Amino acid sequence: MSTSETGTARVKRGLAEMLKGGVIMDVVTAEQARIAEDAGAVAVMALERVPADIRAQGGVARMSDPDLIEQIMAEVSIPVMAKARIGHFVEAQVLQSLGVDYIDESEVLSPADYVNHIDKWGYDVPFVCGATNLGEALRRITEGAAMIRSKGEAGTGDVSEATKHIRTITGEINRLRSLTKDELYVAAKELQAPYELVREVAETGKLPVVLFTAGGVATPADAAMMMQLGADGVFVGSGIFKSGDPVARAKAIVKATTAFDDPAVIADASRGLGEAMVGINVADLPAPHRLAERGW
Amino acid sequence: MAGNTPPVGVLALQGDVREHLAALSALGADARPVKSAGELERVAGLVIPGGESSVIDKLSRIFDVRDAIRARIASGMPVYGTCAGLIMLADDLVDGIAGQQTFGGLDATVRRNAFGTQLDSFETELDIPALGEPPVHAVFIRAPVVERVGPGVEVLARVDDGRIVAIEQGPLLGTAFHPEVAGEHRFHERFLERVRAAS
């Protein structure tokens, strides 16, 4: 008995394990948080503006007001996540002091440091980070991330980048599995990731942490497709509360995420949802406005 | 021994299903994900995983598996629940979300999120006489506790402050912590023994 430890890697990665098969929803008010919890979200992401609005309004996007985050924490009993800017370790300290359940070091906000990410080992609160490929995911895990989400292109409602990133990560993992032991040293060099981690992924065929997907998921079929492509769960940002009927859409995406391999259920979930978010084709976005290119 | 164990299921609506399937498979069991009443019919025991209990409850109703699970529990099917699974097995729930229901079966009252936020999640060693040595390495993640037990319920484990974190009542077993993420298989073995005994 007696020796009890908080903030361990197992405890931090463990919460993400418990979120698997679930939908994490962006919310900007306590009322939206209540809708998300009632609709079956496994967690909510508390923020001031959803990515679609950050994109439309421009300017520097920062950590949300602590009052807003605390209102949302007071409203729901499912886990509450909040975003810090890439490299902004003081925003992360603040979020930890508020008692949030997870911090998203997120490219959706404006980066605070174009060289370094946050040293996430130094916190008791777990972090989730975005990645567009396996090397990026492994670098974030090396820095202490306890959960990875593929980035996609937030705030667009265009799922193509999410597809590309989850396929890239799973494809690179599969490639590692096919390499011989002596080839893994070069693979580690090419991935710009520590050899030990690369070897672990090659042996187990998966990341050592949970892999969700994010960025552009707007429909039940989008969510189910991400699950069929190997995601452990989905983040839905603007897709719910920028749609015509957020309550119905939130429930439908939860249902399709669980029944991701059952087209009849996905068809039912897709009926009568009203308008999806209007969205932006990623191909029409000039490069400087692509959020996925933030972080490295 | 494992060859005599009929197939068992892990309720696969949401949560750490994979870890439970791995733990059961490591013990030689034929373990299958269960999402529907039809799949439930083909297993002789059920593990309810960790996850978000309010979501598992909703999905069990959406996918019409709740009533089937309740009927099987009433007819004596062995069930093991961890964390959210313990919540689902409790007759009475405190601090659930509005309208949240459980399957019930264990004559106990369970408080959801009893230890606080994720910052209060912890791992520790627990002496559990029913399992013998060595102590159990127990991982608590936004975990519940048992606040009341009925006369037929055996308390298997408490944390240092005396709060109850593992209970058993006939073929029903519940832990507030997660043996499946710590390589601890004795609870799963105990569950499989109940399945063999019931078949």
Residues in B closer than 8 angstroms to A3, CB to CB, are: 124-125
What's the total number of domains in chain B?
1
Residues in A closer than 8 angstroms to B121, CB to CB, are: 6, 11, 14-15
Query: Is A62 labelled as part of a ligand binding site?
Result: no
pLDDT band with cut points at 50, 70 and 90 for residue A277: confident
SS3 B138: strand
Query: Is B112 labelled as part of a ligand binding site?
Result: yes
- CB pairs A-B closer than 8 Å: 134
Is a pLDDT exceeding 60 seen at residue A2? no
Of A5, A96, A126, which has the smallest distance from its Cβ to B122's Cβ? A5
Low-confidence ranges of chain B (pLDDT < 50): 1
CA A231 to chain centre: 11
A39: left (phi over 0), alpha (psi -120 to 50) or beta: alpha
Q: Do A259 and B35 touch (CB under 8 A)?
A: yes
Query: Is A272 labelled as part of a ligand binding site?
Result: no
- For chain A, give every domain's residue range: 9-273
Q: What is the DSSP string of A187-206?
A: HHHHHTS-HHHHHHHHHHSS
Is a pLDDT exceeding 90 seen at residue A292? no
* Mutual angle of helices A263-270 and A246-258, in 10-degree steps: 180
**For A31-47, what is the mean pLDDT?**
97
**For A126-150, what is the mean pLDDT?**
98
From B19, B20, B168, B180, active-site residue: B180
Which of B60, B94, B119, B127 should we substitute to test contact with A (largest number of A Cβ atoms within 10 Å)?
Answer: B119
Residue B1: inside a domain: no
Which residues lie below 8 Å from residue B193, measured CB to CB, with a gap of 6+?
A: none
Residue B22, domain CATH: 3.40.50.880
pLDDT tens per residue across span A71-125: 999 999 999 999 999 999 999 999 999 999 999 999 999 999 999 999 999 999 9
**For A168-196, what is the mean pLDDT?**
97
Of A2, A12, A78, which has the smallest distance from its Cβ to B52's Cβ? A78
Is there a contact between A215 and A239 (Cβ–Cβ < 8 Å)? no
Residue B2: inside a domain: no
At A1 the pLDDT is 43
CA B20 to chain centre: 10
pLDDT tens per residue across span A183-202: 999 999 999 999 999 999 99
Per the annotation, the verdict on B178 as an active-site residue is: yes
Residue B113: inside a domain: yes
At A248 the pLDDT is 96
The helix or strand, by DSSP H or E, that contains position B189, with its residue range, turns out to be: helix B186-198
Query: What is this structure's pTM?
Result: 0.96
Q: Do A2 and B139 touch (CB under 8 A)?
A: no
**For A55-62, what is the mean pLDDT?**
90
Query: Is A113 labelled as part of a ligand binding site?
Result: no
The CATH number of domain A9-273 is 3.20.20.70: yes
Q: Do A1 and B126 touch (CB under 8 A)?
A: yes
Domain range for B29: 8-198
At A55 the pLDDT is 87
Is there a contact between A26 and A234 (Cβ–Cβ < 8 Å)? no
Tokens (6 digits) for A256: 């399709």
Closest CA to A80 of A117, A121, A141, A126: A126
Q: CA-CA distance, A91 to A102, in Å (whole number)?
A: 13
Kindly report the average pLDDT of chain A as a whole number: 95
Q: Which residue has the tokens 């959210």?
A: B84
Residue B26: inside a domain: yes
